[in-house]
Amino acid sequence: MSNSADSLALAPDLVARVLSESLPYIRQFHGRTIVIKYGGNAMTEEVLQRSFAHDVVLLKLVGMNPVVVHGGGPQIDQALNLIGKKGTFVQGMRVTDHETMEVVEWVLGGQVQQDIVMMITEAGGKAVGLTGKDGGLIRARKKLMENKDDPENPFDIGFVGDITQIDPAVVKALQKDQFIPVISPIGFGEDGLAYNINADVVAGKIAEVLGAEKLLMMTNTPGVLDKDGNLLGELSARKIDALFEDGTISGGMLPKISSALDAARNGVKSVHVVDGRVPHCLLLEVLTDRGVGTMISSH
């Protein structure tokens, strides 16, 4: 892809639409927290990376408080391949032995996080990277996965965590000083061990604890799709339960939609699954009348 600034240029009609529609949203969301789960193609394609960084900085400059929680599945798989390991998953969660956890910490808390911080800096923002260990942000315990065939013996998938507590003090302190927090989904347990936590789950819980106005979950699809591949523009809790039941929502979408629904039920005003392959999808979702994905409501 082209490295020129032209590759990020917005079509004139898009510019006009965003500008004409943005003012009421800027007023409405001024001073409010917007939690963004950053992942998928938007993390791996250069034009989309820079589009994301520009959007986050713009939201900050117009008075909102973006908080970024990032994934890094493809980057972890790449690093595992280098040491001859292959990633395996149970119900959308990565099985994480001791060696894999070391790779996860290095990739998420190091390489990926610092790349995002640098991108935001280059776009004119001030970002600070955090893991769950910083400021006691994310406490966790070992997660055991349900075994439907043998409920008495749940699956042990290694150093994968369930969140037990989030202390948002460090995030709030950074926001107060006009920094953009960039959070890696790594928690720590009372046993002193680090735990890999699904980034969608972390984003949802962070949004709840911060009382976020919006939770935006970037994905590699137009949003939540029905069995025929059609976009579902809005989903209620009841409809989501039916989609879980009939297997329409499965694999990696399970933790994403579960977390989105939990956040909607626990005070986050609006939750959106947005198409991260659309340049400037964050601006389109936050600052225009027409979103680019699925809105999830608790009722």
How far is Cα 113 from Cα 135, in angstroms, rounded to an integer? 17
pLDDT digits (tens, 9 = 90+) for 239-277: 888 888 888 887 777 778 888 889 988 989 999 999 999
Residue ranges for the known binding site are: 72-73, 94, 196
Q: Is residue 43 over pLDDT 90?
A: no
Residue ranges for the known binding site for substrate are: 72-73, 94, 196
Structure tokens at 195: 């735990």
pTM of the predicted model over 0.75: yes
pLDDT digits (tens, 9 = 90+) for 175-207: 999 999 999 999 999 999 999 999 999 999 999
> Residue 179: its pLDDT value, please?
97
Amino acid at 209: V
Q: What are the distances in angstroms from CA 172 to CA 30, 177, 270?
A: 16, 9, 20
How far is Cα 76 from Cα 287, in angstroms, rounded to an integer? 33
3-class SS at 224? coil
- Delineate the domains of the chain, giving CATH numbers in brackets: 12-296 (3.40.1160.10)
Q: Is residue 8 over pLDDT 70?
A: no
How far is Cα 294 from Cα 200, in angstroms, rounded to an integer? 15
